[in-house]
Amino acid sequence: MPVPLLIVESPTKARTLSGFLGNRYHVMASVGHVRDLPNNASEVPEAIKGEEWGSMAVDVDHDFQPHYVISSDRKGTIRDMKTALKDASEVLLATDPDREGESISWHLLELLKPKVPVRRIVFHEITEEAVLGAIEHSRELDRNLVDAQESRRILDRLFGYKVSPVLWKWIAPKLSAGRVQSVAVRLVVEREEERKAFRRAGFWNLEAKLSGDGREFTATLVRADGKRVAIGKDFDAATGKPGNADVTVLDGASSAALAETLRGSIPWEVTGVEEKPLTQHPAPPFTTSTLQQEANRKLGFSADKTMSAAQKLFDSGVISYHRTDSTTLSDKALQESGRTIRGMYGDEYYGGARRYQTKVKNAQEAHEAIRPTDFSLAPEKTGSRFHGDEARVYELIWKRAVASQMADAKLLRTTVEITAAGAGGAPCVFTASGKVILFPGYLRAYVEGSDDPAADLGDRETLLPACRKGDRVSRPGDDAALSLLDLTPKSHETTPPPRYTDASLVKRLEDDGIGRPSTYASIIKTILERGYVWRQGKALVPTFTALVLTVFLKEHFRTLVELDFTGRIEEKLDLISNGALERLAFLREFYFGDEQDWPGLKTMVEKGRDRRGDYPSYPLGEDPATGQPVVLKVGRFGPYVQRGAGGKDNTASLAAGVAPADFGLEEALALLTTKGAGPRIVGVDPKTGMTVYGMDGRFGPYVQLGETPEKGKKGTKTPKPRRASLPKGESIESVTRETALRLLSLPREIGLHPDDGAPVESNFGRFGPYVKHGDDFRSLESGEQVFAIPLDEAVELLRQPKRGRKRTFGAAKSAPLKELGTNPAGAAIRLFDGRYGPYISDGAINATVPKGVTLESITLERALEWLAEKEAKGPSKRPAKRPRVRKGKKKA
């Protein structure tokens, strides 16, 4: 008997639906997109290969007609669906409830050409009730949504395929541009430029350690000599000087003198006590954007990793649709969450349903917020249904959704003002703040993360002793309400604006209406994979290629990378989806321009391609010795520095992993000087008589045996000299002949494995020293083991299960490479060599030395800066090691 054919996108979703629909429906999965524009030249149909627009597969001269091809790995899927269609009573298109899902349904309809009735069904959670309700309230395919998605696809194809060749011509091959991608890169580059222009400022204040009622607390000096004491925000980022004349700037000497004066002015007096009740409201349930931001802050997940986990949770039927701008919850969800809150926390924690208004620029597809499909399924009750990333993301979603419906938190904030007499009797005012949670409310379930660690600490209670205005502050042992235990000058430095993280970049893109939240994960992944950005911890750092690219795009395609350009595009796509704008008019205006001030993409590309002048560069400054400009450029082999017109001794390649904010004119000139001096002669190999050189390359310092031969004739291979990268902690200047020859002898064959007779080798790799047998690797404890470990120990190590490398509690650190000095508190600041490279330590906090920084250039000031940045970020949270799983197919 014929049954309805129900088509979804994901195989996991198909299995979930089959579980409760049974044999009443035949459920199949399209596995994402089944048809799209060609991905490469081999996929372009023969019929259009000779056309000027053939590579794009969009006929710009005939109403922007797209030429689609069936994905090679979907041909079997389409064939199976056509077979299933023969026994179907009707077709139910149940692809995802957004424009992309609508488009996939349209492509399926075009390919399958069913002769039975076709209905479009939409559901936002995979439950039997939701799916049967969707079937009952089916509709026709929405052609406006399809047009909006197709317009987006064509526009992005035109942008990428027209602008990218201009980049190949003027900058370097294989570069690419994208409507949202290029704007995201611009944001990251401009933040790096802000950091580069930043001028650090030092300032001091006083901290008083006090006690009362057996409780210690800290008060900070806020006013001296009738003026407010300067804090970080009072300094100009561009000059490092105070931007406000009405503040007192303390230095080390003046703060120490003031502290001495104030110690002698005891007793002090409590001159103010203010208690202020506060009400904290819960945050709304997650949207796509806020889920990505919070998972990055709390879990350290990239946007792509978060969306991958959320997709699996949705397909499994435990959360609602995860691509949404909405913060609203359905009446059913509101009722279920209320019951869960009352049952788990008590009636006082539920004050009635909360309804949130969406505040996202260009919000569309007003679905529900991301929430659990069953509020009674608390994270601790999920058992083995899912684990790893999915379990952690589900816990975030469940807690946030539940907390969004809970009662407000009630707090009491107390501020105590203490006044002491300074020089000449001038009042010096200290303040201390405390916070008491009177009623936790939603905090019982969830505390929102923050990009600001100081704000995160504010969620903890800080209790102050009871005191009244007029109470005295005296020395310990005196009869006073409060006792002064210590008064310490504290040194501070302003910090540059933080680099973007996944969380802060997603927030910036959403705030400016750039792109769609559902695409942010793929955008960040793209700019990382294409080498425009790299990660330094959580921070997104632009490459030098990104700097040159952004300068070029801002000069020749400024409108396309303006922050509001893509926002205007999104608004017009919204109009198309609502039927208020015709698709063809939109595409014609974008490509050919209008009669006002928009020239159109076609004209902009022609002007950019036919520009005159030198190849694009990024200015670094002027060589004071020669007056020649020093710039960054990008060539076939990557970024390099050039002085003047270039040529011998005036160009030098840049090593990977150097942050642009840490590389300026001084570093560029030093690099050119090193290059001009030629490679360092380390010594002579006694076996071959060949010279051993120390050199710098694109991937860092290395040693080389013998000269680099000249290139042979075309078609012949030029033999390369033997080379070996220097391990972390070793530099060209410090490497000895003995060390260089040992490195050049690697890999070391330790012996033959007794199980199969294959060689066991040792060497240095990206993550440090190792032994290997075939494709099986194990880390070694030290670099010396590379040259000394015997075969039996290597075999025993290889037979052990792989495990994370952990330091035994209480184990001594290796001897420091360098003593840098002490911090203001007197703690020794030392430089160590660790498994993952050199790092700075003050005994309590460790901070990794940034890539590209030579050990010789590290000063106490730079070390204190890195330690302060690490302290501000808080401790690293390393998730438990989980078994690797093969990722399923994801939508583009």
| Residues 435, 274 contacting (CB under 8 angstroms) | no
Q: Rounded to the nearest 10 degrees, how much is the dihedral formed by the CA atoms of 356, 359, 363, 364?
A: 10
Tokens representing 295 are 């998972």
Calpha distance 511→159 (Å, rounded)? 23
Q: Is 751 helix (H, G, I), strand (E, B) or coil?
A: strand
Closest CA to 66 of 50, 49, 74, 54: 54
618 is catalytic: no
> Helix 520-529 and helix 288-299: axis angle, to 10°?
50
| Residues 396, 403 contacting (CB under 8 angstroms) | no
Residue 540 CB partners (closer than 8 Å, separation 6+): 188, 499, 500, 501, 502, 505, 524, 533, 534
Angle (CA) 33 39 40, round 5°: 160
Task: Please pick, among 25, 161, 321, 349, the residue that the annotation labels catalytic.
Answer: 321
Calpha distance 725→766 (Å, rounded)? 10
Calpha distance 752→772 (Å, rounded)? 11
End-to-end Cα spacing for the chain: 37
| Residues 532, 660 contacting (CB under 8 angstroms) | no
Residue 695 CB partners (closer than 8 Å, separation 6+): 679, 680, 701, 702, 703, 704, 732
Tokens representing 459 are 């969620």
Handedness of CA 265, 268, 272, 278 (dihedral sign): positive
Query: Rounded to a whole number, what is the largest CA-CA distance in the chain?
Result: 101
Radius of gyration of the chain (CA): 32
Calpha distance 513→566 (Å, rounded)? 7
Tokens representing 448 are 């929102």
Calpha distance 699→509 (Å, rounded)? 32
Query: Any idea which residues carry the catalytic annotation?
Result: 321
